[in-house]
Structure formats: C-alpha cells, structure tokens
Amino acid sequence: FAFHMLPKKLTSLVCSREDQLNGSQYRESALSQLIPHFCLHKELNKPDLAQGCLFCLSFHPQKNLLAAARANFVQLWDPFTGELKSNTECHNEVITTIEWIDSPNTTFYTSSLDKTIKLWNNDQKVQELTRHNDWIRSLCVSKSNRTLLSGCVSAGICGWDVSTGDQLFDLKNAHSHPSFPELNTINSLHFANGSDDVFASGARDGCIKIWDKRTNLTNEGAVQMIVAHDKKVNVALFTRDNTRVLSAGRDNAMRMWDMRSYGDCTRSLCGKAKASPNVLQVYNKHRCEGYNVSTSFMGDEKYILTGSEDNIAYIYETDTGEVVKTLEGHSNVVHLLHSQDDHTIATSSIDNCIIHLWRPDISKDAVTKLSRTRPSMEGNEVLEELLQKYGDQILSIFHKHNITLSSNWNSAGTNSVGDAELQEIVLNITSDLEQSLMERNNRNTENPRDAHNHDAPNKRQ
C-alpha cells in the first residue's frame, strides 16, 4: 500500500531520509527498514465456506484484490478491508493455478484437474480451452498479455494466443523422469521479462529448461537445460533484467543462476548454450523436501520470499543469501505465499484455508496472534515419511485412473483402480505405518518424559 496508508510512526521512520534518497534507492532503503517489523495484520477467513487447505494465492497486479483457490472455487478478497468480494465455482475439479491478466480489469485464467483452462472477467466465464488431455498444473501469461503457457502432469507444455484462444504449440514430453517417464509434472512456467517467446520450465526431474518458441520446439530443443536440484523443482523465475534465474526445489534449497552468457534473448534467437550456468547464490535456511512450496521476489528483487516445511515463511536478502526476517506462527507447512506491493504478504498453511496477511508494524505491543486451528494429526512425522516414500507411486496411480476430488471413492477402491499395483502399495503403506507407530510407542514407553514432544505437531527446524 502507499506510504500514506501505513501507521504514522512507520511513515515517519521511512520518510525521514527522503531528502537523501530517491527512486529505487529510496524504495529499497525504506523496505530494508520495514522488513524487520512485519507481523500478522489480518486474517481472511469465512468458516461457513472454508474447508480444507487452499491450492493457490495470487494478488492482482494492479488492483486491491487477492485471489485464492479453494477446491473448485475461486475466492476474491479485499486484503485491505478483509471483505470476501466473491466466491465462484469455476471448475468441476480442484483448481491448480490462478493467473491474472495484467490490466485494470478483474480478468484471470484458472486451470484445473478437470483438464480445462478458463478465462474469467468479473466472475463471468468468457473463454474455455479444452485441448489439454491431462491434469493441468501451471499457467503463465506474458507481460504483454499476448501469450499463455500451460503445463500438465505428463510433462506437456502448450502455448495459446490470448486474444483468440488458438493453440500456438503443443510440446510433448518437455521433461523426462527416470522413475515415471509418463509422469513428470511441469510445476513452474515463467516468461523472460519483455518476451512472448523465451520462457523457463521447472519440473519433477529437478531440471530447469529454457525454451524459445521461435525455434523448433521439441523435447530435445531446449536452449538450455540446468540440473538445478537433486529433487523436484517447485519454481523457476527470471529476474527482471533476465540475467539470472531463481530456482526453488525440494532439496531444501533455492539457487540463483547466472544467465548473462546468453545475451538478450528477447531481441534475437537464443542460441544453444555450450556450458551450464554458474550458481551465484544458495539459500538453504528454510525446509522443503516434500511439498510444492511457493517462492517469489519482493522489493525490486532485493529480497526473496519463500514458504517452508518448518511452519515458517522466510525472507532472504537476494545478494547475500542471509535470512533477514521470519514470519512465525503457523501450525503446519507454509505452502502458499505471495507479496503484493512489498508492504503486504499473504501466506497460508496446509492445515486450514485461513489466509494470513502480514504488514509492517513498529508499535511496541505488536504481537502475532493466529486463530486457533485444528492441531496437526497425531503421528504427523510418520505420515510425512510415508508420503515422501510412496507419494510418487500414489500420484502415478491416481493419474493413471483419473482419481480426483469428485471421484466415487467407494467404486474407485473396488473396480478398475483395485489393481495389483494399488493393492501392493496399500499393503506396503499399512505395514510401514504399523511398524513406525510401534517404534514410536516403544520410544515413548522407554522415555515417558519425551512422549509429549513426540506427539506434538511437527515443527522441523
């Protein structure tokens, strides 16, 4: 929000140096003073509507609106007043992504496990794209609003003309995975700044690929492939000057990659790089091993905001890699977050669909107070270990048999899905769960003083 909307104490704090600084230097200096004072400002919650966790959070690029995906509904909130402006059923299945059109209008795309992409304006559907034959996981609109990208669970990437809805290209098997060659989710798509042609994709194989759609797009035709992480890539983002790419993965790290050797690919065709780019900085104080955790820039890219599996949101300084602020108080994994204007951060956790808004406050009595949420499930550590071990196999079977939110779970367990592969996994999970719970109970019996700690909600450091 504009400085005049901030508390007077805070305004005076950051405006005292106005005579010394101007432009971006002033904004950076102001933000560096604001960041230590971020605390919980407001909670967005409608108990009569909210069930389960959210799947996406996204601020409007120009308006005072926050979009949240809950199951197959999109909620639009006014983050300043806390008012729920609308709650629209947009799909038949879980909504995976909300992507705003950068304009003064309330226009956005949604993607879903129902294999469709829809364009909305003021809660009215104006376009539907149905040529995907798979669950859609990621979307990205170019800054010019001319081109839309979509990525699916089986590693396909499609390009679309925003004005007509025509499909521009269909890139199959953009990434590969040794364990599941048919299942390598495109978790992230991001255009180079100022380009409708050059984009980055990040997937479950731990790699980032840079593409130029002016070339012959094939799975071997990427301009560059970066082996960025030991595990899955959650996010891959170009910086505004396109000289760096930020990657976030499930190996407890984010990395900044040097892309200067490519030149300006937005003006001329990108040639294939002969060597992998260098790592400029590593950010590894947060925790991410099993969840698709959000990451974004803030403060003219001077800072990086990320969720974490230790129930905390982290703010890193981009150049140094140091943590400059943590947002603490969630009772479970912080998997969603977004920054609107450097003065408002939205976060959400996997154990509820309450949205927490964080803003700077320098008053002495500023204390983080979160609504009481249901506690994490007993044996949370055990369940997380099982999901880490069997998650890919479970996803593969669900994808194979198209098991989604609206599936008939009774028939799913007895009909075509009841194949030998599924039965084997169920038996293995059951056996491992029983063994893990027995070991935990034995530890508690041997160390009764530690029993409380083992049963407490998991808060990994």
- Distant-in-sequence, close-in-space partners of 445: CB < 8 Å, separation ≥ 6: none
- DSSP state at residue 448: G
- State the pLDDT confidence band at 46, using cuts at 50, 70 and 90: confident
Q: How far is CA 452 from the centre of its chain?
A: 33
256 and 314 Cβ atoms separated by less than 8 Å: no
Does the pLDDT of residue 415 top 80, yes or no?
Answer: no
Please give the Cα distance from 129 to 118 (Å, whole number): 6
Does the pLDDT of residue 337 top 80, yes or no?
Answer: yes
The residue ranking higher by pLDDT, 294 or 37, is 294
Distance in Å from the first CA to the final CA of the chain:
33
Strands 207-212 and 198-203: antiparallel
Q: How many CB atoms lie within 10 A of CB 304?
A: 25
Does the pLDDT of residue 430 top 90, yes or no?
Answer: no
Give residue limits of the domains in the chain. 131-284, 380-455
185 and 230 Cβ atoms separated by less than 8 Å: no
* pLDDT of amino acid 457: 37
Rounded CA Rg of the chain = 22
- Looking at 303-312, 318-327, 379-388, 398-407, which range is the least confident one? 379-388
The type of residue at 378 is: E
Report in angstroms the alpha-carbon separations of 43 from 335, 356, 418: 16, 5, 42
Q: How far is CA 438 from the centre of its chain?
A: 35
CA torsion, ordered 333, 336, 342, 344, to nearest 10 deg: -80
15 and 3 Cβ atoms separated by less than 8 Å: yes
Q: Which helix (H) or strand (E) holds 395?
A: helix 380-400
Taking Cα atoms as reference points, which of 28, 115, 122 lies closest to residue 74?
122
- State the pLDDT confidence band at 367, using cuts at 50, 70 and 90: very low
Query: What pTM was estimated for this model as a whole?
Result: 0.80
356 and 330 Cβ atoms separated by less than 8 Å: yes
359 and 340 Cβ atoms separated by less than 8 Å: no
Q: Which residue has the tokens 């599924």?
A: 422
306 and 321 Cβ atoms separated by less than 8 Å: no
Does the pLDDT of residue 275 top 90, yes or no?
Answer: no
228 and 279 Cβ atoms separated by less than 8 Å: no
Does the pLDDT of residue 19 top 70, yes or no?
Answer: no
**Above pLDDT 70, what percent of the chain?**
72
Please give the Cα distance from 426 to 418 (Å, whole number): 10
- Distant-in-sequence, close-in-space partners of 278: CB < 8 Å, separation ≥ 6: 257, 258
Q: Which tokens go with 416?
A: 């075509």
- Distant-in-sequence, close-in-space partners of 344: CB < 8 Å, separation ≥ 6: 1, 41, 59, 79, 357, 358, 359
Class of domain 131-284: mainly beta
Q: Which tokens go with 407?
A: 């599936």
Report in angstroms the alpha-carbon separations of 377 from 21, 34, 158, 357, 450: 51, 36, 39, 25, 18
